[in-house]
């Protein structure tokens, strides 16, 4: 109950906006890293969006780290102005290992910061400029997360559900925390980390969610992740529910692992320092386990209410017991549907910067999307010890930045 009230209070700050940033007086140098594995279908639009940045071309260089590629990803990277780093290691594959290896190949003494994108992304033309402006305005910022938008929201009900989740989270979770002075979380792409921070903390990450683990390590080191609402990237979301479940299971596997390895340290840091940032981190890391426990309690409570009433009361009173069971079950479901409706209105409205009811029709699809998380949460809890197997999410939507802008 207290956690719910706390989350509501924090999220209300999402109705505010970040102040417009002044133009920076100098251009910082960025190393732009794109981890890739057989991404020939989608990497070219990303590289074109990076080549078209509204930023001095001599102040950034793109590195495509091609991990065990069997297609022409490396060739396409070179053709589109990137430095292709080719890696072949059958034993240690996946993004976590790929990034760790690539960071040893980039001459960081030549750069001020690292920007990272997934191969299926598109970068807004002002991404690097906005990050440079933010770094000048906030010299204490060691890690900055940009806005994660969706490049294919209208493909089907699933991608629209992802879009609703991201639009709501961007505003009422990430931005809200940034405005409160709390730490946001890295999203694995569309992020910038100062090279000095990489040297201080390193990238020796072990989980399947290297972004969450890095966020946690940053926070526990006394720093925090900043949010830049002016730096936007577009991410492809899966159109197939089976692929989506595999992706989200991997996310939750990593989330549980990070909780068990860092959660208690964050709680201890809160009691020692009394800084809300550490408690906020602990509550976030605890969220999947708390959700599982809540589901178990709700189901057990419904079963107990039904069985208890049917055993203790005469048959003539069964309709009364059914009414109690319905209320016990119906109120949580009604509350969740109401929240889904809120997400379908508030998220898109803040995203489009005008009130819209366009996605109200997707409320029940979003509710169903939420239900699909339930088996994922429980399955991932049993798989959390395994952080070695990376299952790639296939990307196929090779659309351009102009196409996305036109649709939006």
115 neighbors 49 (Cβ within 8 angstroms): no
Q: Is the pLDDT of residue 388 over 80?
A: no
pLDDT digits (tens, 9 = 90+) for 128-169: 999 999 999 999 999 999 999 999 999 999 999 999 999 999
> In what side-by-side order are the strands of the sheet with 60-67?
83-87, 60-67, 30-36, 113-116, 191-194, 143-150, 225-235, 122-123
H or E segment to which residue 102 belongs: helix 95-102
H or E segment to which residue 114 belongs: strand 113-116
Q: What is the pLDDT of residue 315?
A: 52
| CATH 3.90.550.10 domain span(s) along the chain | 26-239
Q: Is the pLDDT of residue 317 over 60?
A: no
Calpha distance 208→186 (Å, rounded): 14
CA geometry: angle 221, 223, 225, nearest 5 deg:
125
Q: What is the pLDDT of residue 332?
A: 76
Categorize the per-residue pLDDT at 311 as very low, low, confident or very high, splitting at 50, 70 and 90.
low
CATH level 2 (architecture), domain 26-239: Alpha-Beta Complex (3.90)
Q: Return the higher-pLDDT residue of 394 and 239.
A: 239
Q: Please enumerate in sequence order all residues whose Cβ is within 8 A of that of 333, keeping only pairs 6 or more positions apart, or say none.
A: none
Please report, rounded to a whole number, the percentage of residues in the chain having pLDDT higher than 90.
77
pTM score of the predicted model: 0.92
pLDDT digits (tens, 9 = 90+) for 180-206: 999 999 999 999 999 999 999 988 888
| pLDDT (mean) for 18-37 | 96
pLDDT digits (tens, 9 = 90+) for 324-341: 656 666 677 888 899 999
| pLDDT (mean) for 378-382 | 93
**In angstroms, how far apart are the furthest CA atoms of the chain?**
82
pLDDT digits (tens, 9 = 90+) for 55-114: 999 999 999 999 999 999 999 999 999 999 999 988 887 888 899 999 999 999 999 999
Please report, rounded to a whole number, the percentage of residues in the chain having pLDDT higher than 70.
91
Nearest to 232 by CA among 304, 145, 160: 145
Q: What is the pLDDT of residue 324?
A: 61
């Amino acid at each position: 109950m207290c956690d719910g009230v706390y989350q509501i209070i924090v999220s209300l700050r999402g109705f505010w906006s970040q102040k417009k940033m002044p133009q920076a007086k100098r251009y910082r140098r960025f190393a732009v890293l794109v981890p890739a594995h057989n991404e020939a279908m989608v990497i070219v639009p990303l590289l074109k969006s990076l080549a078209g940045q509204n930023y001095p071309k001599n102040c950034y260089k793109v590195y495509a780290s091609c991990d065990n590629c069997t297609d022409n990803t490396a060739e396409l990277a070179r053709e589109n102005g990137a430095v292709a780093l080719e890696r072949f290691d059958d034993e240690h594959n996946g993004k976590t290992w790929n990034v760790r290896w690539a960071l040893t190949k980039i001459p960081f003494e030549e750069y001020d910061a690292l920007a990272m994108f997934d191969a299926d992304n598109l970068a807004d033309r002002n991404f690097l400029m906005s990050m440079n402006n933010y770094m000048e305005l906030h010299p204490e910022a060691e890690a900055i997360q940009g806005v994660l938008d969706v490049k294919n929201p209208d493909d089907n009900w699933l991608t629209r559900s992802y879009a609703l989740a991201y639009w709501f989270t961007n505003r009422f979770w990430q931005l809200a925390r940034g405005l409160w002075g709390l730490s946001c979380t890295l999203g694995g792409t569309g992020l910038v980390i100062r090279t000095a921070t990489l040297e201080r903390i390193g990238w020796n990450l072990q989980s399947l969610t290297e972004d969450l683990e890095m966020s946690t390590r940053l926070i526990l080191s006394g720093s925090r992740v900043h949010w830049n609402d002016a730096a936007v990237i577009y991410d492809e979301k899966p159109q197939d529910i089976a692929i989506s479940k595999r992706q989200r299971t991997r996310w939750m596997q990593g989330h549980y692992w990070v909780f068990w390895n860092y959660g208690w340290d964050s709680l201890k840091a809160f009691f020692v320092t009394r800084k809300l940032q550490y408690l906020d981190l602990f509550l976030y890391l605890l969220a999947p386990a708390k959700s599982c426990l809540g589901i178990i309690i709700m189901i057990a409570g419904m079963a107990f209410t039904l069985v208890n009433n049917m055993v203790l009361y005469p048959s003539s009173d069964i309709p009364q017991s059914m009414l109690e069971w319905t209320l016990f079950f119906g109120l949580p479901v009604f509350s969740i549907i109401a929240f889904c409706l809120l997400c379908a209105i508030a998220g898109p409205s803040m995203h489009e910067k005008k009130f819209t009811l366009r996605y109200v029709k997707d409320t029940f699809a979003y509710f169903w999307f939420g239900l699909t998380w339930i088996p994922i949460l429980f399955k991932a809890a049993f798989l959390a010890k395994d952080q070695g197997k990376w299952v790639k999410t296939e990307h196929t939507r090779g659309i351009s930045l102009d196409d996305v802008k036109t649709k939006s």
